[in-house]
Amino acid sequence: MFRFFENLVDPYCAYRETDTPPTRLLPFMLAYAQPFRRIFAWATVMSIIVAAVEIGLIWAMGWVVDILSAGPEQVWETHGTWLIALALFILFLRPLIQTVDVLLLNQTILPNFGTLIRWRAHAHVLRQSVGWFENDFAGRIANRIMQTPPAAGEAVFQVFDAITFSLAYVVGALVLLGDADPWLIGPLVLWLVLYALLMRWTIRRVGPASKAASDARSQVTGRVVDSYTNIHSVKMFAHHDRELAYAKEAIDVTRDTFMREMRLYTIMDVALMILNGLLIVGVVGLAIALWMQGAASTGAVAAATALTLRLNSMTGWIMWALTTFFRELGVVAEGMETIAQPISLTDKPDAKRLELTEGRIEIQSLSHHYGRGSGGLDQVSLTIRPGEKIGLVGRSGAGKSTLVKLLLRFYDVEDGRILIDGQDISEVTQESLRSRIGMVQQDSALLHRSVRDNILYGRPDATEDQMIAAAKQAQAHEFILDLEDPQGRRGYDAFVGERGVKLSGGQRQRVTLARVILKDAPILLLDEATSALDSEVEAAIQTTLYGMMQGKTVIAIAHRLSTIAQMDRILVMDQGRIVEQGSHDALLSMDGLYASFWARQSGGFLDPDTKAAE
C-alpha cells in the first residue's frame, strides 16, 4: 500500500529544461507542480470529504442527544438501525477515508514534491557558469538547494492538510448552525470577519519576516562553511577568535530576525485567544437563549457547543498552518534568489557537437575584461597549429588564465572569437567542447570520493586496467596502494577527503594527472601542472607529460620556465596582450621581457613581480 502511493509520481520524470525559470513565486511553484496536478486534485477532494465527515459527526452527536429524550426502548426500536450504521461508519469507513487522505499527503506529496524540486534545482544550478559560482558562497548555494524543497513541500502540505480542510469545515459549520437556527450564523460570521482580519495582519508580516530570517540563516551557513573550507588558513594564521567574531556577526542577525518573527506569533496567539472566547460565548450563549425560548432543541445546543469548542481548538492550528504556509513561502522566495536565476552562459538552440579533426586553434581579436572595461585580455590574435606545443608565460594578471578559461568557454567572450578546426566554440555545445580538452590545474582539488572515482572522472567507461595504467604513468600507483581512510577503505577505494585534503599537494597533483591521462583528450591545457611536485617526482612526471603531449595540441602555463623551454613556441603575455613569441633561444636572443624573466628566475621559478628590463 505504501509503495503504491509513493510511486504515484516519479520525481525524476522527464521535463523541459529552461534557461529562464519563473522569477515570481506562484509561477515558480506551479512550474514544479505540473507532475502533481492530478494528485493535488485528489488531495483537494479528500480534504473536503474529511471536513464534511467531521461536520457530519457533530451533527450526528446533536441528533443522538435529541433522540435520547424518547427513552431507551423507543430509541433502540426506532433508531437502532441508524445507530448501528453510524457506529460502522465511525469504525470502518471514516478511518478508510482518513487513511487515503493521509497517504496522499504523507506518501505521495511530501516525499516526492521536495525531491522533485531538489533534483531540478540542483540540475539547474549545475548548468550555471563558473563565473556564477565564483560570485557566491558555495555554502549559501547549497543551503538554498537544501532548505527550499522541504519549505515548498511544507507549503503544499498545509494547503491540503489545513487550508482546504478549514475552508470546507467553516462552510459546513455555517450550514450546520443555519440548519439548527439561522440566528446562530451571526456570531460565527462576525468571528470569521475578525479572524480574517487577524490572519491578514499576521500573514502580511510573516512572509517578509520569514524571508529575512531565511536570508540570515543562509548568511550564517555561508560564513561557517567558508571557515571550514579554509580551515588550514584559519589555523595557520591563528584566527580562531576572528572567525568566531565573523560568524557571531551573522548569527546575531539571525537571532534578531528570528525574534522579530516570533513576536508576530505571540501577538497572534494572544489575539486568537480573545477571539475564540468571543466565539464560544457568542454561539453557545445564543444557542442556550434560543433553547430557553423553545426555538432550539437540546441537540442543537449540544451541536453548537461541540462545533464552537472544535473551532476553538482548530483556530490556533489553522492560524499556525497559515503562518507556516506563508513562512515557508518566504523560505522558497529566498531560495529562488539562487534557484530561479537565469542561465547566462548557454548553448545556442542549434548548437552542434564539436567535430575535432586536427586540433587547430584560432584566436581572433579576442578581448575580455570581465565586464570591468580593463584587465583580462585585449585584442589577442593567435593561431596554434595542429599538434603544436605552446608555452605561456607572464606576470600575474597578464591574462594567461583568462585565455585558458575562455578557451574552455567558462565565460563568453566580450569581443572576438575562438575557433577550433574552423568551428566557433560559441556555436558548439559546451559538453562536446570540454570533452575534447584535458586540463591539469595548479589547484588540483579532488572530489570527496574514492581515488578510483576521481581518476575515472576523466573517462567513466574506462576499465580497471586502463585506470591503473594511467595511475602508473602519473607516478601515483605506489602511493595509492598505501592509502587508508578512517573507515578502513584501502588503496583505490580510499576516500581522499574534501578537495583531496587527506593527500599531499604532490599526491593530489599526480591523481589529477592520472585523470587527464585517462581522458586522453586531443587538446591539452596545463596550468602549472608540476607546481606541487618535488624535484625527483617532477623529473619523472616531466617525461610523462611530454609523452602525453605527443599528437596533441598543447597550451602550458608555467612560472618555472625550465618546464616549457622545450616547447615549439613560447608566448609572453603582458597587460592582456601577447608581446613576444618564439622559441626559447629566439626569445633569449631578443633580450626582452622573456630574457629578463629567465635571468631573474630563482630556482627555475618566474618571479611574478618581475619588471621588464629597462
Q: In this predicted model, what pLDDT tens digit does every residue of 117-166 receive, in sequence order?
A: 999 999 999 989 888 888 887 778 888 888 899 989 888 988 888 888 88
503 — pLDDT class (breaks 50, 70, 90): confident
pLDDT, averaged across the chain: 85
**pLDDT number for residue 533:** 59
Residue 611 has pLDDT above 60, yes or no: no
Q: In what order do the strands lie in the sheet with 361-368?
A: 377-384, 361-368, 415-420, 423-424
* pLDDT the model gives residue 401: 86
Closest residue by Cα to residue 440 from 515, 534, 518, 546: 515
* 306-345: pLDDT as tens digits: 888 877 777 777 777 777 887 788 888 888 888 889 988 8
The residue whose grid cell reads 624573466 is 597
Which band of pLDDT confidence, cut at 50, 70 and 90, is reported for residue 420? very high
Bigger pLDDT: 529 or 328?
328
Q: pLDDT at position 39, please?
A: 94
Q: Would you say 418 and 425 are in contact if contact means Cβ atoms under 8 Å apart?
A: yes
Number of H helices, E strands in the chain: 22, 10
Instruction: Of 108-112, 173-177, 601-605, give the lowest mean pLDDT range.
Output: 601-605
Q: Contact at 8 Å (CB) between 574 and 395?
A: yes
pLDDT of 413 higher than 80: yes
What would the mean pLDDT of 58-71 be, rounded to a whole number?
78
- Stated pTM of the model: 0.76
Burial 246-270 (b: 16+ CB within 10 A, else e): ebeebbebbeebbeebeebbeebee
pLDDT at residue 229 is higher than 80: no
The beta-strand segments (E) located in 263-420 are 361-368, 377-384, 389-394, 415-420
Gap between the Cα atoms of 5 and 3, Å rounded: 6
Q: What is the pLDDT of residue 42?
A: 95
Minimum mean pLDDT range among 422-426, 458-462, 593-597: 593-597
- What percent of the chain stands above pLDDT 90? 34
Tell me how far apart the alpha carbons of residues 71 and 533 are, in angstroms, rounded to a whole number: 99
Percent pLDDT > 70 in the chain is 95
List, in sequence order, every beta strand (DSSP E) within 361-477.
Answer: 361-368, 377-384, 389-394, 415-420, 423-424, 437-440
- Name the H helices within 129-183: 130-134, 138-158, 164-180
Kindly tell me if the per-residue pLDDT of 113 is higher than 50.
yes
Rounded distance between C-alpha atoms, residue 372 and residue 576, angstroms: 13
Residue 319: name the closest of 187, 168, 202 by CA.
202
pLDDT at 603: 43
Do the Cβ atoms of 109 and 43 come closer than 8 Å?
A: yes
Chain Cα centroid distance, residue 234: 27
Q: What is the rounded (10 degree) CA torsion for 89, 92, 98, 103?
A: -160
Q: What is the per-residue pLDDT for 275?
A: 84
606 has a pLDDT exceeding 60: no
Mean pLDDT over residues 269-273, rounded? 84
State yes or no: pLDDT of 610 exceeds 80: no
- pLDDT value, residue 604: 47
Residue 207 has pLDDT above 80, yes or no: no
Q: Where are the domains of the chain?
A: 2-339
Q: Report CA-CA distances (Å) from 582 to 389, 392, 402, 404, 497.
A: 12, 11, 21, 19, 42
State how far Cα 351 lies from the chain centre: 27
Helices (H), 375-425: 400-407
**What integer pLDDT is reported at residue 530 of this predicted model?**
65
CA distance 346 to 388: 30
Amino acid code (one letter) for 335: G
Q: What are phi and psi of 573, to 5 degrees?
A: -110, 145
Greater confidence (255 vs 71) lies with 255
Distance of alpha carbon 390 from alpha carbon 360, whole angstroms:
12
More confident residue, 209 or 461: 461
Residue owning grid cell 602550458: 556
If one counts every other C-beta atom within 10 angstroms of the C-beta of residue 536, the result is 9
Specify the pLDDT at position 535.
65
CA atoms of 216 and 255, how far apart (whole Å): 9
Q: Does domain 2-339 have CATH number 1.20.1560.10?
A: yes
SS3 readout for 517-549: HHHCCCEEEEECCCCCCCHHHHHHHHHHHHHHH
DSSP letters for 204-264: HHHHHHHHHHHHHHHHHHHHHHHHHHTHHHHHHTT-HHHHHHHHHHHHHHHHHHHHHHHHH
The stretch 169-181 carries a mean pLDDT of 80
Task: List all residues 6 or more positions away from 62 whose beta carbon is below 8 Å from its beta carbon.
Answer: 180, 297, 299, 300, 302, 303, 306
User: With bands split at pLDDT 50, 70 and 90, how would you rate the model's confidence at 64?
Assistant: confident
What average pLDDT score do residues 407-434 get? 93
Q: Is 383 helix (H, G, I), strand (E, B) or coil?
A: strand
> What is the pLDDT averaged over residues 456-482?
93
Q: How many degrees, rounded to 5, is the angle at CA 146 between CA 143 and CA 148?
A: 100
